[in-house]
Amino acid sequence: MGTRFVGWGMAVPDKIVTNDDLSKTLETSDEWISERTGIRQRHIGGTTTELGTLAGRRAMEDANVKPEDIDFVILATTTPDRMAPSTAALIQAELGLTCPALDVNAACAGFPYAVRVAQGLIETGTKRILLIGAETLSRWVDWTDRNVAVLLADGAGATVMEYSETENDIRSFVLGASGVDADLLTCDHGSYFFMDGKEVFRRAVRVVVDSASEAIQKAGITPADISLMIPHQANIRIIQAASERLGIPMENAVITLDRYGNTSSASIPMAFWHARDEGRVKKGEYALMTGFGAGMTWASSVLKWSM
Ligand code: UT7
């Protein structure tokens, strides 16, 4: 018995902001942003509820399930629409669900953290869960601060997870947090995101490599068995450094940050959606998802596709 992923969805706002658009108002350039980060454009707009609802509906359609089939909805987000209620509750209403609803905030590691929570619920009797990662980071960006404005963006991704008598897609998990590093990447009430980019970069590579190595070992496989790496989409150089140190070729990594920038909790499920859409999710093969972010938090998990 175990947990299976049975459907995927994603959504982004219509408005695209290119690097050239940003360089009209900020002292930056397309050359700097694309060379240092890999980002070329991002989508901006909407609310977390709107984007999460759209991605969630698409995942439910993809899984061919109706509102009454969903027993729990979990939203991973760093940018809830209100302090209370949870944005998961707002999405629950929009989707016509009647199940429990819960927000999870583990910043850019939010999606794998939420998968771990969902797995625990499924192992203890919950049958089917709609799990969404949705963010509207642009509302918490100081658009005159080039350190952050060129990176963060909006979007949502979603999946349906369900109990299976015969299959188990989740093979290992390694989660961590280091609250003493809270001020490296932070956003206070009524304020904007602040990031010590250099330090976050250094730590990100270290925690991704350490947690991913441990997750691979726990799953009883080697890096050579990983055919798909689905990393949090913060910076192409972080992904390249991790890929090199882990010994997982860059061709196996899913890269979407060129189109969407850093969408925090949404980046991993959006990358999953693209991987599946491009036919890269293959039955019987292993995938690694890995994320890190404000907290600091980090999470790596090895998955094996059953469908
Ligand atoms: O998702 C959560 C986690 N977040 C992350 O993972 C982000 C981690 N950090 C990063 O991705 C990178 O550190 C940044 C993209 C934020 C910065 O890249 P970097 O290669 O570390 O650049 P830097 O901070 O060392 O800055 C290099 C130069 C500096 O100029 P000088 O001192 O060499 O003259 C900066 O002032 O680039 C300058 N600079 C910029 N120039 C144009 C910094 N930001 C910009 C900018 N446009 N947006």
Rounded distance between C-alpha atoms, residue 157 and residue 64, angstroms? 17
**Residue 11 pLDDT > 90:** yes
Ligand 1 centre to CA of 243 (Å) is 21
What was the pLDDT predicted at 1?
87
For a ligand 1 pocket test, name from 26, 35, 36 the mutation site with the most ligand atoms within 8 angstroms of its C-beta: 36
Using one digit for the tens of pLDDT, what is the confidence trace for 214-272?
999 999 999 999 999 999 999 999 999 999 999 999 999 999 999 999 999 999 999 99
For residue 115, the number of C-alpha atoms closer than 13 Å in the C-beta half-sphere is 32
Of the chain, the percentage scoring pLDDT greater than 90 comes to 99
Pocket of ligand 1 (CB under 6 A): 28, 32, 36-37, 108, 146-147, 150, 185, 197-198, 200-201, 204, 234-235, 238, 262, 293
Question: What is the reported pLDDT for 217?
Answer: 98
Closest approach atom of ligand 1 to CA 264: 1
**Does the pLDDT value for residue 202 go beyond 90?**
yes
Ligand 1 mean position, distance from CA 56 (Å): 34
pLDDT of residue 93: 98
170: left (phi over 0), alpha (psi -120 to 50) or beta: beta
| 99 is a catalytic site residue | no
Span 274-296, mean pLDDT? Answer: 96
Edge-to-edge strands, sheet with 101-104: 2-11, 154-164, 128-136, 72-76, 101-104
pLDDT reading at 30 higher than 90: yes
CA of 147 to the centre of ligand 1 (A): 6
25: left (phi > 0), else alpha (psi -120 to 50), else beta?
alpha
| pLDDT per residue as tens digits for the range 74-87 | 999 999 999 999 99
Instruction: Give Cβ neighbours of residue 22 (< 8 Å, ≥ 6 apart).
Output: 28, 33, 146, 149, 150
Dihedral sign of CA atoms 181, 155, 151, 292 in order:
positive
The DSSP output letter for 141 is -
Q: Is 168 an active-site residue?
A: no
Q: What is the pLDDT of residues 131-169, one digit of tens each?
A: 999 999 999 999 999 999 999 999 999 999 999 999 999
Q: What is the pLDDT of residue 154?
A: 98
140: left (phi over 0), alpha (psi -120 to 50) or beta: alpha
Of 301, 303, 292, the C-alpha closest to 106 is: 292
Q: Of 134, 92, 144, 140, which is closest to residue 110 (Cα–Cα)?
A: 134
pLDDT for res 206: 96
Strands (E) located in the chain: 2-11, 16-18, 41-43, 72-76, 101-104, 128-136, 154-164, 170-177, 185-186, 194-195, 226-231, 286-293, 297-304
Which residue is catalytic, options 19, 105, 235, 262? 262
Cα 243 from Cα 121, distance rounded (Å): 32
Q: Which atom of ligand 1 is nearest to the CA of 150?
A: 48
Q: Does residue 307 carry a pLDDT above 90?
A: no
The rounded distance, in Å, linking the Cα atoms of 18 and 25 is: 12
The residue from 19, 105, 187, 232 that is catalytic is 232
Kindly list the structural domains of the chain, giving each domain's residue range(s) and its CATH number in brackets, ordered by start.
2-164 (3.40.47.10), 170-304 (3.40.47.10)
What is the maximum span of the chain, computed from C-alpha positions, in angstroms? 56
Ligand 1 pocket test, pick from 37, 186, 201 with the greatest ligand atom count within 8 Å of Cβ, gives 201
- Residue 164: what pLDDT? 96
> Is 274 annotated in the active site?
no
